[in-house]
Every structure is written in C-alpha cells, then in structure tokens.
A and B are shown apart, each in its own frame.
Chain A
Amino acid sequence: MNNISFGQYYPSNSFIHRLDPRVKLICAVIYVAAIFFVDSYFVYAAVLLFGITVIALSRVPIGTVLKTVKSVLFLILLTFALNLFLVSGDKVLWSWKFIKITATGLDYAVRMAFRLFLLITGTSLLTLTTTPMELTDGLESLMTPLKAVRFPVRDIALIMSIALRFIPTLMEETTKIMNAQKARGASFDTGNLLKRVKALLPVLIPLFVSAFRRAEELALAMDSRCYDATPNRTRRRQFKINMVDIAVLLIFAAFITLIILDKYLWGGAMDGIIYGLIFKK
C-alpha cells in the first residue's frame, strides 16, 4: 500500500494511524471549532503541548508536520502584521511617524498567528495519519444518518473515491500531454505569469476532453457492473469502535471542556494565576 503516495499521508503503524477514521474526523472538526474559543495563553500552551504529544504518538516526524505550515506561512505572517499594526490600544509600545504598535495589538497578533498555526498543524495531522480511502469511508459512515432526508450519501462517497482513484491517472496524462506539447516546441517555464498561464491552455483542453471520454467509459463499465442495482448495497468495510477509540474521544472531550471552562468560567484567569505565581517569588 505504500507504493502510492498521494495526498499527504505519512505511512506508519502508530495507534493514531489505526484509530477509527470517524473518531479522527470528529476530533478534527471539534478541534477546528474549539481553537476559536481558546482564550488565555495558558490554554494556548496546553493546546500546543497536546498537539506535540499527539504528533509524538503518531510517529510522524515533526519536520513533516511543520512542512504543512510552510504553504500558509505567508497567510500567518500577513495576519500577524495586520493585527500588529492595525489594532489600536492605550499602551503604545513603539511608534514611528504614523505607525504604532500597541500592547493590545501585539497581544492580538500573537494570538491570531498562533491560532492559525495550531489550526493548520492540527488538521494536517488528520490527513497525515489517515489514508484518503479511510477518510472517504469515514465520511460516508458519518453521513449515513443523512440518508433519512434522501441525501445521496453513497453516491457522494463513490464520487469522492473515484476522484481520488483518478488523480494519479490524470496526473500521468497531464505529463504525457505536456511532453507532447514540448515536443512541438511549447514552453511552460519561460515568460511572465500571463504567458505561462496561456501556455497551459493547450494542455488543459486535451486533458478535459480526455477526462470526459474517460468519464463516459467509466459510466459504461459501472453500469455493466450493476451500479445502483439495489438500495441494499453491501458495505464491505465496517468500522468497529473499540476501547481505544472511546478513550481517545473521552480524553479529547476533557480537553475541549478545559478550553470552554477557561473562556467562560475562569475568563482567562489562568493567566493571572500563573502570572501571580511567577512574580510573587
């Protein structure tokens, strides 16, 4: 199974990898939502620690995880800069002509950048430890209740898995077409941006034509193999939640509770307490 590597999947046999994909999906969704409730620096540190623990358990090298941040680094820096310079406050830390940095601005900027960083690393951990196939199977299973409102769960899941299946095929095809165009003298890596985009047109058109032809043939093949024969289609892969999955969900729930408590009950008081502890000594 290791000979195909699309997506970000990092093959390993850690217990994070072996978790039920549905558990991982649920955790990821809740995590994304919860990150926006993180209030105090204390809880930020706790989330970071939690993240590091999960990464360590997943046996994915920390460098691989950080690489996923690289693609959005610009976004993080931009957010940081915008918050830093645009948020106004009373306490001015530094100023030069019309630019000034306030304490509130710095606080905001650090929080936002950190929030984004945690968001990206956390969610990429899902795709790093779960194969695309497991993800589609997991999504299908999670969406099953929607069948009651006639939502075509099975078709959607099949569309997703066929899309995944055809990624390498179409990539191969793209390379072939590009080579064919290069042999005719096309150049894809010279000129300005507009020129390069224009040069891609003779690649995209044949690619689309061929994709449609493939789709038509695939439809015939699927019909021949009795697609949609019965509403009681067999589901080969059945998920079983085991004790580890439940334990993970409980730990995760406890962690989320901490975040919520910190925001609404303690009002970020943890920072104050820790502050006090440090400065009293």
Chain B
Amino acid sequence: MDKVIEIKNISYKYGAAEGVDVEALRGVSLDVFKGEFLVIAGHNGSGKSTLAKHMNGLLLPTSGEVRVNGIPTTNDARIFEIRSAVGMVFQNPDNQTVATFVEDDIAFGPENLGVPREEIERRIDEALAAVGMSGHRKSTPQKMSGGQKQRIAIAGVLAMKPRVLVLDESTSMLDPRGRKEVVETARKLNKEGITVVLITHNTEEAFFADRIVIMNEGHITAVGTPKEIFTDAETLNKNRLVLPPLLEIQRLLVIAGYCTGEPVFTEAELSERLINLL
C-alpha cells in the first residue's frame, strides 16, 4: 500500500529553552497508508497530539524524520504543499474560524494558496456538501452547535483538497451528538477516498477504524485492528484507556462464559446477541 505519511523514529523535546526539558515523543515510527482510517488513541499527555502536529510540519522533530508524499517536513520551500495535502482540524471549534461568515472562512485556505476565484466558489459548495452543511453558506458559525462548527472547520480544510484529514482531538469538546456528527462525517469522507487520522482519548470513536494506534508516554504501545485492540482489555488498561461500555459488557460475558467469539461494535448486534443468549 502507498504510504502518505512516513514517520521515522522521531523524538520531540520541548521546554529546552526554559530548562524543563520534557520529552513528548520518544522514538515514534508510524506509516499512514493511503485511504485508511487510522485512529491514534491515548490518554491526556500521551503525546498523541504532539504526534499529530508533526504530520503537517507544525512541529518539527528533535530527531528523526517525517515525510509527507515523500517530502520531508523540514523542507521549508515545500511546507505549504505538505500543509495543503494534510489538512488539520483542532480541538476548539471557536478558535479555528477566521471569518465571521461560513463562506469567507472556508475560502481562507484556497485564498492563501492563490486558487482562482471561480474555483474557490466551486470548492466552497463542494466542501459544504461533503460535510452536509450545504444550506449554511451565508450563515455564521457563531450561532451553530459544536458539531456543526467542527463540520464547518472540516469543510475549511477540505477546500484545500487535502489527501489526509487529521482530526486532532476534534471531538473532545463536543457533546455525544456532536461527536457522532464529526465521526460520521469523517467516515463518509474516508469512504470517498480521503485518508483520515483521528486523534482521540475516547476509544468508542475507534470502533470503525481500519487500524488503531495506542500511545502512552511518548511511545506507540500497541497497534492493531479494533477486534485485536478491544479484546485486549489488559493493554488498554495499562495505557490508561477505558473500554467502552458496549465492549465491557461483552468482556464480562466472555469471562462469565456466556459467549465467545468476535466482539461486535454496534448496539443492535449486541442486543441481538443478548437476546440469543436468553
């Protein structure tokens, strides 16, 4: 498979100037493959967000190397190529909109890249349609729900036509409904061909990932499919992650000897299984 992002043995230290010297990343290697839905999970302070910020050159590794489409992120001359290829959406939706009106905000990226005007108008419409917000072109994010604001932020990134969409804890400030909106938007975009990297501490969002990477104390501690990760409660525990209730029930059922086999990831499937048990 094609690698979109190659991360080779990177370390990142910050605070050297203040003399505190914190090592946020210690020898992390990871490839992001074209078209995959990758979830990077970890508790607060595990380094997952620092890793995300290396993916478009917002941070540069203290040692090691990150390449996007083969271009190292240290290449200053081509950094904007990297940033338009790897779009990033952040945690707080209020702090990433630059303009008062939706259309002006979405246009920000393509304007910066010097995209012709007619093309920008087309991209605004396409991006809004892709996140299911077509009717909101002339409205203002100020009055929207958190989930809607984040979808506008995603649209703002999509307008740059990225190959990878990185959601850097973009769901952590949202209510359950908003989280669902954002994750579902990401899944839909992934099906349409965009590579998605979702950073989260909420393991529920990893159910539908192709691959889950677990981080702890600046290391990658586990990599696997949802089935592998979610049947390994011990690893999750060691990394201070919580097994979502849906899977906790299944784990207890397995321990109690009521069922075996593959875990299921939807409530419907679980209830079907439970009914069969009765």
Contacts and interface: CB of A to CB of B under 8 A. Distances in A.
A and B form one complex: yes
A103 interface: no
- Most chain B CB inside 10 Å of its own CB: which residue of A224, A234, A235: A224
Given A217-B92, A220-B90, A229 B114 contact: yes
Contacts of A161: 98-100
A234 B114 contact: yes
A1 B142 CA distance: 12
Interface stretch (A25-33, A79-87, A164-172, A241-249): A164-172
A165 B111 contact: no
Given A169-B142, A225-B160, A234 B115 contact: yes
B100 A225 contact: no
Given A133-B101, A161-B100, A225-B109, A214 B114 contact: no
Contacts of A217: 90-92, 95-96
Interface residues of A, number: 32
A255 B115 CA distance: 43
Interface string B148-189: 000001001100100000000000000000000000000000
A220 B157 CA distance: 13
Contact of B112 (A162, A214, A220, A229): A229
A193 interface: no
B273 interface: no
Interface string B75-116: 000001001100110111011111111001001111111111
Interface string A215-236: 0011011111111111011111
Given A161-B98, A232-B114, 11 more contacts: A164-B100, A165-B100, A168-B142, A214-B94, A217-B95, A217-B96, A225-B98, A226-B80, A233-B112, A234-B117, A238-B117
Enumerate the 9 nearest inter-chain pairs by beta-carbon distance, A residue then B residue, closest first: A221-B96, A229-B80, A217-B95, A225-B109, A224-B88, A226-B112, A230-B114, A234-B111, A232-B114
Interface of A: 1, 3-4, 133, 158, 161-162, 164-165, 168-169, 213-214, 217-218, 220-230, 232-236, 238
